[in-house]
Amino acid sequence: MFGIKNYTPKDVPTTKSKTVLVTGTEAGFGRRMVETLSGAGHTVVAAMREIKGINATAASELRELPNVVVIGLDASADDAKIESALHAAAAAAGSPIDVLLLMSATGKIGQSSDELMAYFDERIASQHRIARTVSHDMAKRGHGSIIFMSRTPLDMGTDSAGVGAFSATQWAIEALARTMRTELRSSGVDVFFFPAGAELYDLDDVDPDMFFETTAKQLEAGAAPPDPLVVAGTLLQLVGQ
């Protein structure tokens, strides 16, 4: 993790709450962050790929929370559609986006070459599309925070069978975050990378047998996966800076 331990907040407008856009909110850490931020009085834009079909129940439940706006956000769409969706989200929330939490992640095992290319687009290019669009507006206002979150330690998967592609995307996202932090520093926009750890009961949807025979055993031999509530609390402190 970089940029958080020694973080010093800039002189930004003081508000009781901030408007926070969170991706990947249908389950896992993303959903917990929506619940935590809403409970702390922040306005939350909860984004997920679809708000109908398989995610309809999750979207409906999040709408019941105070100060939460739920949107469908397809990060694979072109820049114009993403920009339009994000502007509409800010309008629905009643204020510009102050903080972006990029939390969406999926695990893939045994891809073909074509599937691997599509996976990298899904995991890396899609986050870049959203971050770039949001950062433009933040830079114009002179403040904002973008947080890229990893659900697994960066050293997890580098020597484990089956999770190399997922691990590779995590390294790429950290590199992207570091570069954006340098590029945006003078504009008043902070960029962070937060490798929180693995959330096994979400990642096991990939392939429980293979995943737990390799990666889970490695994690059990070392540090235990972090409590999602602790992770949410840590991110809440950062959002509130």
pLDDT in the model for residue 106: 62
45-92 per-position pLDDT tens digit: 999 988 888 889 999 999 999 999 999 988 778 888 888 888 888 898
pLDDT in the model for residue 207: 45
182-237 per-position pLDDT tens digit: 999 899 998 888 776 544 334 334 443 444 354 445 445 555 555 656 666 666 67
Sign of the C-alpha dihedral computed for residues 204, 208, 210 and 213 taken in this order = positive
Distance, CA of 122 to CA of 79 (rounded, Å): 14
Q: What tokens does 164 get?
A: 């190399």
Domains observed in the chain: 19-239 (3.40.50.720)
Non-local (6+) Cβ contacts of 112 within 8 A are: none
pLDDT in the model for residue 43: 93
Read off the pTM: 0.77
